[in-house]
Amino acid sequence: MNNHEPAATVESRSNNRRLVLFPIPFQGHINPMLQLANILYTKGFKITIIHTDFNSPNQSNYPHFTFKSITDGLFKSENRSLNLDTSNYVINFLNESCIEPFTVCMAKLLELEPVTCLISDALWHFTQSVADSLKLKRIVLRTSSMSCIPVYAAFVLGETSYFNTTVKEELALMTENDIEKIHKDRSEKGNEEVICSMIKETKASSGIIFNTFKELEEPAFSALSQDFHIPIFPIGPFHKYFPASSSSLLEQDRSSISWLDHQPVNSVVYVSFGSIAQMGEAKFTDMAWGLANSKQRFLWVVRPGSVHGSQWLESLPKGFMEDVGERGRIVKWAPQQEVLAHQAVGCFWTHNGWNSTLESICEGVPMICSPCSYDQPVNARYVTDVWKIGVMLDDEMNREETGIAIKKVITGKEGNEMRKRSKSLQEKVNKSLRNGGSAYQSLENLVDYILSF
């Protein structure tokens, strides 16, 4: 058996029925979709993954799945380099360019054997009409939090209905700055279009799976249940079933773990802004000085190309590494889930992508929040004001203030309180996943539901 093949027993009740899964080709979407595929495999389903040429998953890690590749047209265009400024444009592009290859691929699969259901990322909104035309059921995987849908609906699409629901108090927590950040990409071609189509075609689907658990987002769950007249399955966190290491597009630097092994308990700030966020040189330099001024230990993921105009660390202030010495370590990409589970990690300075936020919650690690755009400002606001397990870093903070804020979370009383609340959320996660817990039951319901098709 391959290392990444699920070790859990494969149940027989699904009688080898085939599911086709279709991930959006970005790291934060590939990870949850392949984890979901593994979860459903252990429930006895046969799995086919349709994927684009761009960012195709490493098939050798999944010998138990069938893979089908489709052309995406990206390499013929200037859209090849993906970052935060272009991703909605790329998503719209892919939703056009993949229609024909995906339809052909799906039709061929159906000629070979029956397919019980298509599970596609919510951002693949075109797949609903393909599924309809092929008389195929489609379930959607939404890889963000549940709470971000009402926020998007209210503040991006201008829908007022959510203001009368269980989330109204949480909507009121959104600051002008949060909304401005969500809107930052309004100027970007296609943001509203993506969100509008995503919500419309999700409502037209047969059900929606979330990588979250009900207890974490109870008000959003009940608000969505009223608005979306389809079954909702919050069966996460997926990575608690299977780690994301096998779907990593970049090589994870294992030396991060051996370095952490030598650091005291709760002493290290882990810093990572995910797989697509980019920043200017000035922000990068300020982050470096903030870390240096905090005088705390840190493990910092600097993805090559994530600083505008730099290959990797050229923009680091002169003498920075000498100044921090053994106290700091910089890597290109880390085994993040293992890092967050390490006892040496005392807090996570994050951009609050949903996977990162959830991974931090699962390990009871408090957060320092620096959201950039998309759903990140929503996730960060929930972390700081709803769950109270993190602090928001003000964009206007200078290097000294940043250093003080970091130090407070690692060593201060406030940080300790946040750590306690975070540990209690971690316990809720574990309970939810156990036999009889809400995520456990939701997964059982999902399997029964698919088997009813």
Check residue 354 for interaction with ligand UDP (CB under 6 A): yes
Decide whether 196 or 249 has the Cβ nearer to ligand UDP. 249
Decide whether 201 or 359 has the Cβ nearer to ligand UDP. 359
Which residues lie across from 209 on neighbouring strands? 141, 233
Between strands 117-121 and 138-142, the pairing is parallel
For 415, residues 6+ apart whose C-beta sits below 8 A from its C-beta are: 346, 347, 366, 408, 409
Check residue 140 for interaction with ligand UDP (CB under 6 A): no
Least distance (Å) between residue 360 CB and ligand UDP:
9
Contact 429, 362 (CB under 8 A): yes
Check residue 276 for interaction with ligand UDP (CB under 6 A): yes
Specify the DSSP class assigned to residue 62.
-
Between strands 367-369 and 390-392, the pairing is parallel
Least distance (Å) between residue 340 CB and ligand UDP:
8
Specify the stretch interacting with ligand UDP by CB under 6 A; choose among 26-34, 104-112, 125-133, 195-203. 26-34
Tell me how far apart the alpha carbons of residues 144 and 212 are, in angstroms, rounded to a whole number.
8
Decide whether 79 or 337 has the Cβ nearer to ligand UDP. 337
Check residue 246 for interaction with ligand UDP (CB under 6 A): no
Strands lying side by side in the sheet with 268-272: 328-331, 297-301, 268-272, 345-350, 367-369, 390-392
Least distance (Å) between residue 116 CB and ligand UDP:
28
Structure-block tokens of residue 290: 């903030």
Which of 154, 120, 266, 150 is CA-nearest to residue 218?
150
Identity at 439, one-letter amino acid code: A
Least distance (Å) between residue 352 CB and ligand UDP:
8
Question: Is the bond preceding 237 in cis, omega lying within 30 degrees of 0?
Answer: yes
Tell me how far apart the alpha carbons of residues 403 and 398 are, in angstroms, rounded to a whole number.
9
For residues 298-337, which are near ligand UDP according to CB under 6 A?
301, 333-334, 336-337
Check residue 27 for interaction with ligand UDP (CB under 6 A): yes
Check residue 121 for interaction with ligand UDP (CB under 6 A): no
Least distance (Å) between residue 243 CB and ligand UDP:
9
Given candidates 356, 373, 384, 442, which one binds ligand UDP under the rule CB under 6 A?
Answer: 356
Least distance (Å) between residue 34 CB and ligand UDP:
11
Given candidates 355, 360, 432, 438, which one binds ligand UDP under the rule CB under 6 A?
Answer: 355
Question: Please, what is the end-to-end C-alpha distance for the chain in angstroms?
Answer: 31
Decide whether 46 or 351 has the Cβ nearer to ligand UDP. 351
Decide whether 28 or 290 has the Cβ nearer to ligand UDP. 28
Which residues lie across from 300 on neighbouring strands? 271, 330
Binding mask 225-244 toward ligand UDP (x if CB under 6 A, else -) reads -------------------x
Question: Is the bond preceding 101 in cis, omega lying within 30 degrees of 0?
Answer: no
Decide whether 340 or 409 has the Cβ nearer to ligand UDP. 340
Least distance (Å) between residue 274 CB and ligand UDP:
3
Check residue 23 for interaction with ligand UDP (CB under 6 A): no
Q: Where are the beta strands (DSSP E) in 322-449?
A: 328-331, 345-350, 367-369, 390-392
Given candidates 72, 121, 185, 359, which one binds ligand UDP under the rule CB under 6 A?
Answer: 359
Helices (H), 251-353: 255-260, 281-294, 320-324, 336-341
Number of residues that bind ligand UDP (CB under 6 A): 21
State the residues that interact with ligand UDP by CB under 6 A.
27-28, 31, 244, 248, 252, 272, 274-277, 301, 333-334, 336-337, 353-356, 359
